[in-house]
Structure 1
């Protein structure tokens, strides 16, 4: 197994021993970091371990645990829409099982932004024994690794004013599945992993029109906060009870589609609609912390792609294709350069939907229609090592990549690809 020397300043839930797992959206604590080295160059015939045609389209990410890959998709439309969960062997690409999730609740219609991402945008999460998939208005389904359904639970049937559909991904905390059901019910909902019963619910209007994934932050060595970037404010909850611990208002207008980055005790998020900006605050504290925002850039940042961090520098590729580098907690960027080779954006003029990940110290950024860019981190300039396209697949690549055991998994609207040596 190849490893690379990385200074990781994300302080919570990054495992340095369980390299073979990528258990949720963007891996441990949604920070997008793996120490595993994967190939820098590939094609349909080079370093392509396997390819699997999926049951349908989707913008969710694959997850990996114990040599098993799980990925969701959808097929059909309207009353005939069906979601799918598949287990695929990491090493052979064999499909072990497929389970269909029935469309037993009215879905959002195919118009507006929902046509950009579809009806399988929520990435599942696993604890190594069960898989928990959030399917918007269809609710949460739990399966064991043999594909047996353990339980299902409703989350809500509301639609936000914009009717953009569901996209947030669940996380785990102790014996809870925590579901950011902002689109369906303006709430966080915590369910028992064992039977799907509701343990707590935290409701607030600013949780509506939110599409990011929550993270966990350790505070002072004894307290864990559930952190979420909502519309107009950071919110921090007790993950065991749903009690609000603190909030901080920020000047990011409209909906929030991004996931918060954690660097030590510094929380950073970009977003807003129709304009974007970047803000930061330190974790911890109580009550109204609006006057403790570290900075508020109020200049274009990124709408939905979250950053990664290498050697104390944050890097992100905006959905517009501009790549940035900055130090956590500092407003000014070290540099900003447009990625070369972006021909044809691939959907509403936005060449990126997926967030970058780090593998073996290099940054892997999956674009929608121009392949995957591999970038050498540098505090001085943009250094693109390769641009890898897969011939024969002209569909969009919306899902964030996953990394485990020396393999990189990327998904399109057509297939799941495993890259490795």
Structure 2
């Protein structure tokens, strides 16, 4: 751990963490929008607005989640984990890490041996790795999805409660697996796309299967579903190749589906605002807005608009009247009502350069009237929300040359940013005597 002068000043400030929560991928509602009203820093570095930094036990692409005074994230160790690690895949382990939100100290790390045979770390799989699913917590338990190794529940002290397999298949494209778990009514819902082409609900208390639905279409999704309130009750909304699905989360049964983006893969997650689902596709482009609800095929009855916008891997943010995302270093903003372009502007990484690492995996988040996006090379762009493109800052931790593919978490004015090697807590420093 490394503390700066600003960090020492911040440690004396009450953080009010009791009610803090960013407990799943992309925050409370899975849409990347922080409900907190506290100011969030616009600029930071190793010497400015950095509360603490924590070294991680191994690499990973999973995003941090926060509950109260604890931060959780996953890594892998033992094999293909950097300098000094083994070249024997049998040494692979997955790890769940718990970090103290106030100090950055590691409270506990729990490692689990990988179920073998696992996919070797090479080709496109190496762009993803073995720890890409973001964990989820209900404040009593933490649930980590480790692909073939299964779903594992821990209590808040790191004691393993149960472990359940959801399949041991390989992804059809050799890209690995990444869809993150969500919680609903005492269940943890897993999109086991590569593992078994299934969506599976497990009992949070014991890991027993509550329901399971299989479909070949799931083989091509890396998207994380979202829970929304539909006209007929709660719906689990998921993007899959060529379609968007509305599923009854109590039973797993399909309520409605809509023809969507013409692509054999779905990586970004959908977002919902005011009863409308928005999804922007990747490799071949395509975007859609569709009203939630209905029965069966709603491709003709519920579509609000279709366009050809392209988003690649990251998921968008719906805020105010607009939908925002970044693709290939370009900030995009369109109108929610009709999909019309508001702006499309290239981001400026500044004199430090972009430290490009291939296409970006992180998703945009919003808080305090601002948008935050971390590219794979470690530059975090801060943009103003609104119709006019305004880049407020381009921040970097120059001493960390790791890969940045995780989506930031924002809680009580703090931003948690994960590289492959470290976790950072950024918070507005209060000057001495201020």
TM-score of the aligned structures, taking structure 1 as reference length = 0.91
Residue 99 of structure 1 and its aligned partner are, at CA, apart by 0.1
Query: Runs of 5+ in structure 1 lacking a partner?
Result: 1-16
Contact 2:95 2:112 in 1 (8 A): yes
Counterpart in the other structure of 1:52: 54
Deviations 1:30-60 (A, max 9, x none): 1111134221111111111111110011110
Q: Is the 8 A contact 2:349 2:379 kept in 1?
A: no
Instruction: Provide the residue aligned with 2:336 in structure 1.
Output: 328
Number of residue pairs aligned between Structure 1 and Structure 2: 398
Distance 1:165 1:200, change over 3 A: same
1:262 aligns with 2:262: no
Q: SS of the residue aligned with 1:413?
A: coil
4+ residue runs over 6 A deviation: none
Partner of 1:289: 298
Q: Unaligned stretches of 5+ in structure 2?
A: 1-16, 80-88, 429-434
Quote the residue 2:262 is aligned against: 252
State the Cα RMSD in Å: 1.6
Structure 1 distance, partners of 2:60, 2:45, is: 22
Map of 1:27 onto structure 2: 27
Q: Residue 178 of structure 1 is aligned with which of 186, 189, 214? A: 189
Question: Partners in 1 of 2:279 and 2:155 — Cα distance?
Answer: 34
Q: 2:12 maps to which residue?
A: none
Alignment deviations for residues 346-377 of structure 1 (CA, whole Å, 9 cap, x no partner):
333x2x21001112121111111141111111
Confirm whether residue 395 of structure 1 aligns to residue 395 of structure 2.
no
Please point out which of 131, 141, 146 is paired with 1:120: 131
Instruction: Tell me if structure 1 keeps the 8 A contact 2:361–2:376.
Output: yes
Q: CA deviation at 1:250?
A: 2.0
SS at match of 1:69: strand
Q: Is the 8 A contact 2:403 2:420 kept in 1?
A: yes
Deviation at 1:143, TM superposition (A): 0.2
Distance 1:363 1:38 in 2: 11
The change in CA–CA distance for 1:76 and 1:117 in structure 2 (over 3 A counts) is same
CA contact (8 A) 1:23 1:127 kept: yes
Q: 1:95 — aligned with what?
A: 106
User: How far apart are 1:87 and its partner, in Å?
Assistant: 0.6
Moved more, 156-165 or 223-232: 156-165
Q: CA deviation at 1:101?
A: 1.7
Shift of residue 160, structure 1, vs aligned partner: 2.7
| 1:17-416 correspondence runs (5 A) | 20-34=20-34, 35=36, 36-77=38-79, 78-220=89-231, 223-273=233-283, 275-291=284-300, 292-298=302-308, 300-318=309-327, 320-341=328-349, 343-344=353-354, 346-348=356-358, 350=359, 352-379=360-387, 381-416=388-423
Distance of 1:346 and 1:191 partners within structure 2: 39
Pairing 1:417–2:424 present: yes
CA–CA separation in structure 2 for the residues paired with 1:114 and 1:346: 19
State the Cα distance separating 1:276 from its structure 2 match: 1.8
Measured after TM superposition, the shift of residue 25 of structure 1 is: 0.3
Note if contact 1:305-1:316 (Cα within 8 Å) is conserved in structure 2. Answer: yes
Give the Cα separation in 1 of the matches to 2:298 and 2:372: 35
Which residue pairs with 1:13 in the alignment?
none
| Cα-to-partner distance string for 1:63-89 (whole Å, 9 max, x where unaligned) | 000111001011232221111111101
2-structure distance, mates of 1:245, 1:18: 38
Q: d(CA) in 1 for partners of 2:269 and 2:261?
A: 16
